[in-house]
Structure 1
């Protein structure tokens, strides 16, 4: 059974969240301009052994949609508000894409609250982050909405997966978001610079990425793993941005094995 409720951010904004599953808490953080449905295809992979907690970022889903207040740092504070509302002192955190940027703030500024950290298909941002190439930027900026959406799908999934799973896909953005919230999310992600934060992360950290990710280039993974003390890195061969969904049979066990602190099992799954 899924329990849904709301917490209140420091500025009074209502943040919707959802809990389901059993066991120690695992916070799942979605990508830019997405709500908790980002995790729909894979959430059940964790629910037998983890109480999963998702949120609707401010501007998405059932959360408030303020005119201002969008940044990865603020999103991280909203996660803390949700943990406080649930009475959770410490949790494992799995952030993907922009959610990984949010998780960097959470783990660096609220180290006591994060037991273990997984950063998926994300980057440090700022001057040290590796940006997507010009061809990808042009494909996303097309005025034809159908063509732009198709470009996003092709960056998220392989052609073979799209042929077998034509959609709809829950990772392409919250269609109910107002324009100002979309702009806020874009500025939040683009404005993130986690480089100074990363050495302050003390939680055991796993960095995951698909080898064929062009939306958030794979070269960001070794940057993160090299900057965060004692971080491990696992690359999933052939995966694009939504590695966690298309390659769930590999990605899910990797995450769970890491969170249960079985490094030998992590290495075996990666092979």
Structure 2
């Protein structure tokens, strides 16, 4: 049985100063405490967090308010004609605009992949807005081989005929990195990634975003973000790494833990980049961590 991605939340559209609108889902709107803000990866959208958000917002003890954001150009957010604005810095400012729109002074965040890079920028530019951080398979050092892997599969995107075909394509592309996923998990992933637009099943993001990554020169190591990571030192921090990930190395994860001795490090067996957060015992561990943040 696949998940119903269309209920269990309130839908909002947040205006930005440049005229675009961002789509935001709010789960458990009446729950107390700081809202948990979820930021997805490069080509992903708020549906990645749907099942986790339902779990966190309906916990019998300490149910959380959860907000999931479609970054510009993804999901139901507007696409940007000025494609040069698809940057981590711009998207970090968009997150601040969402916080301001909802009157949120500070919040704990979950950032998957690019979402975690956005959090590195926010920690350096708006540290007062961050109450705690979960970094999902991302850190201050990005492995080039992992980026090349993403560049490769974005560069050979296939257009599935239907959701069964989309499920098969995802399993063929990512199966080696996610050996523990079951058929229902692959179908859930297809539902999260693809959307029927004008009768065609397409990955739910502006193709210009993939073009940017395909054009990137990955022949040289990327600058590290240790200086930005150090802003997390005073914050509750949890890092999640897929055991087969090629983007966040075990070496970097261990270095992060040494730099932030109170950081909680969770290694997820049988998953790669990026771990699916609603599976196994991950939701209970996330709830235990997030529910203590004030």
Change (3 A) 1:243 1:9: same
Change (3 A) 1:222 1:187: farther
Change (3 A) 1:144 1:20: closer
Give the secondary-structure state (helix, strand or coil) at the position aligned to 1:115. strand
Distance in 1 of aligned mates of 2:183 and 2:210: 29
TM-score by length of structure 1 reads 0.79
Q: Which residue of 2 aligns with 1:167?
A: 187
Q: Which residue of 1 aligns with 2:42?
A: 32
Q: Which residue of 2 aligns with 1:210?
A: 242
Contact kept, 8 Å, 2:146 with 2:245, in 1: the verdict is no
TM-superposed CA distance for 1:108, in Å, is 2.9
Question: CA-to-partner distance for each residue in 1:178-236, whole Å, 9 max, x for gaps?
Answer: 32233357789x87853321112232111111222235444442243344574332222
Summarize the alignment of residues 223-234 of structure 1 with structure 2, pairs less than 5 Å apart: 223-228=255-260, 230-234=262-266
- The correspondence for 1:179, drawn from 204, 207, 210, is 207
Distance in 2 of aligned mates of 1:194 and 1:203: 17
Check if 1:12 corresponds to 2:19: yes
Distance in 1 of aligned mates of 2:142 and 2:73: 25
Q: Which residue of 1 aligns with 2:287?
A: 256
Contact kept, 8 Å, 2:72 with 2:79, in 1: the verdict is yes
Distance in 2 of aligned mates of 1:151 and 1:103: 31
Q: Which residue of 1 aligns with 2:165?
A: none
Give the secondary-structure state (helix, strand or coil) at the position aligned to 2:27. strand
Larger deviation, residues 6-15 vs 74-83:
6-15
Larger deviation, residues 164-173 vs 230-239:
164-173
- For structure 2, the residue ranges without an aligned partner over 5 or more in a row are 1-7, 161-167, 196-202
Distance in 1 of aligned mates of 2:263 and 2:17: 31
Change (3 A) 1:142 1:3: closer
- For structure 1, the residue ranges without an aligned partner over 5 or more in a row are 263-271
Check if 1:92 corresponds to 2:108: yes
Larger deviation, residues 4-13 vs 221-230:
221-230
Give the secondary-structure state (helix, strand or coil) at the position aligned to 1:43. helix
Distance in 2 of aligned mates of 1:106 and 1:62: 23
TM-superposed CA distance for 1:89, in Å, is 1.0
Q: Which residue of 1 aligns with 2:97?
A: 81
- The correspondence for 2:142, drawn from 126, 129, 137, is 129
Check if 1:41 corresponds to 2:57: no
Distance in 2 of aligned mates of 1:187 and 1:231: 35
- The correspondence for 1:52, drawn from 57, 66, 79, is 66
The count of corresponding residues between Structure 1 and Structure 2 is 256
Cα RMSD after superposing both structures? 3.2
TM-superposed CA distance for 1:166, in Å, is 4.1
Q: Which residue of 1 aligns with 2:79?
A: 65
TM-score by length of structure 2 reads 0.74
